Each structure stands twice: as structure tokens, then as C-alpha cells.
Amino acid sequence: MSNSTKDDLRPEYNLNELKGRVRGKYRKAYEESSNTVVIEPDLVEAFPNTKAVNDALRELLKLRKTRTR
């Protein structure tokens, strides 16, 4: 540890209990059950949040339904 790095771990944490843990143990299951979609950077301005994306997709579905009739 360098001199500029301060150890601010609280004394009540036992490092021996933290050893042996598996990082990312549930990652694959989470990714398979998640419906997260990443928006390309060029679309973020037009769709800045979840509501904007959902509203746009609902409108697209309405248009698609009217055109297929």
C-alpha cells in the first residue's frame, strides 16, 4: 500500500471472513433474466430515460398495428 492510500476499512470488518468469495457469482443468471437494453450513444439525446424509450416503442407498435390491418 502506498503512502498516499489510506486504509479506511472499519475495524469491525474481518478480512478473513471476506476471503474465498466468488466475484460475479450470480452475473450470468442476472443477465439471462434481465431485460436491460443499452441505447447507442447517438440515440441518448432523443431517448434520455426509460419513459422516453417506452413511449416511443408504444407509438411504434401502434403504427405497426394500424399498417398491418
- Whether the per-residue pLDDT at 7 is higher than 80: the answer is no
| Mean pLDDT for the stretch of residues 57-62 | 96
Q: Among candidates 59, 60, 36, 56, which has minimal Cα distance to 47?
A: 56
- Half-sphere exposure at residue 36, Cβ-oriented, CA atoms within 13 angstroms: 6
The amino acid sitting at 28 is K
Instruction: Record the cell numbers describing residue 41, joined without a space.
Output: 450513444
Return the higher-pLDDT residue of 59 and 22.
Answer: 59
Write down the pLDDT at residue 63.
95
> What digits encode the pLDDT tens for the residues 18-54?
788 888 899 888 888 888 888 999 999 999 999 999 9
**pLDDT reported for residue 55:** 97
